[in-house]
């Protein structure tokens, strides 16, 4: 703290400390803690159906609370679906049960199968999947499925304030629907395509 006006005070600096911290060797305790955290952050996908890989023609994934609520209100609100699987994960924002039951009641990520057509699957994922868990989620979920001829549809939402457009977001009719598609998708898109420079983030992007 300066003792008079105009005094030059040298602020404390952490320059060089990061390099010193990186140079410090990892202790056995540090390694054990890191291994335990990595093990705890592993994702488990449990299926009630025995056949593996699952024969699947259409896979609809709703990611986020709004998209999951849309599925609940307009698609799952009937007796046409049965729960066939669950994703168990642990991170800063999501804690699923540690039980080995295939369908824990407190799960935030459930898989449903259409009873009249078992090749149609839904995934209702209302939990947060951390950045370091996204590839693992994809690898384990899609690793359980037959991918030949599989059509995947992702439903997700984002705040209107994040939408980039030349017109004022105050005049936009909200909510509105936009789409992205791969070049392999040849069917008619049900809504306008998402304009550049808008992007999709996190698990939907993965």
Sketch the domain layout of the chain as residue ranges. Answer: 38-158, 160-205
- pLDDT for position 100: 43
User: What pLDDT is stored for residue 57 in this prediction?
Assistant: 93
**109-114 sheet: strands from edge to edge:** 44-47, 81-88, 109-114, 120-125, 58-63, 151-155
According to the model, what pLDDT value does residue 101 have?
Answer: 47
Q: How many residues does the chain have?
A: 206
pLDDT of amino acid 28: 82
Q: For position 99, what pLDDT does the model report?
A: 46
Q: Phi first, then psi: what are they for 192, rounded to 5°?
A: -60, 150
Closest CA to 202 of 142, 147, 156, 145: 156
Rounded-to-integer distance, Cα 42 and Cα 133, Å: 7
Give the model's pLDDT for residue 10.
60
Q: Are strands 44-47 and 81-88 parallel, antiparallel or unpaired?
A: antiparallel
Q: Residue 26: its pLDDT value, please?
A: 80
Give the pLDDT confidence score for residue 19 in this predicted structure.
Answer: 57
Q: Which residues of the chain have pLDDT under 70?
A: 1-24, 95-107
User: Do the beta carbons of residue 60 and residue 122 sit within 8 Å?
Assistant: yes
| 23, two tokens | 């140079």
- At residue 159's C-alpha, the angle toward residues 155 and 160, to 5°, is 110
pLDDT on residue 63: 93
């Amino acid at each position: 703290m300066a003792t008079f006006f105009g005094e030059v005070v040298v602020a404390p600096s952490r320059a060089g400390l990061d390099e010193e911290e990186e140079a410090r060797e990892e202790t056995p305790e540090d390694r054990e803690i890191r291994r335990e955290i990595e093990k705890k952050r592993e994702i488990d996908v449990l299926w009630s159906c025995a056949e593996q890989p699952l024969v699947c023609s259409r896979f609809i994934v709703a990611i986020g609370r709004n998209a999951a609520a849309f599925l609940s209100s307009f698609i799952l609100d009937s007796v046409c679906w049965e729960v066939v699987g669950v994703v168990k994960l642990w991170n800063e924002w999501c804690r699923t049960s540690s039980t080995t039951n295939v369908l824990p009641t407190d799960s935030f990520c459930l898989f449903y199968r259409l009873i009249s057509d078992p090749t149609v699957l839904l995934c209702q994922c209302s939990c947060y999947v951390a950045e370091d868990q996204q590839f693992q989620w994809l690898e384990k979920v899609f690793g359980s499925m037959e991918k030949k001829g599989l059509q995947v549809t992702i439903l997700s939402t984002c705040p209107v304030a994040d939408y980039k457009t030349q017109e004022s977001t105050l005049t936009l009719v909200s909510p509105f629907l936009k789409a992205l598609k791969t070049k392999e998708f040849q069917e008619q898109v049900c809504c306008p395509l998402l304009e550049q420079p808008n992007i999709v983030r996190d698990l939907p992007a993965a």
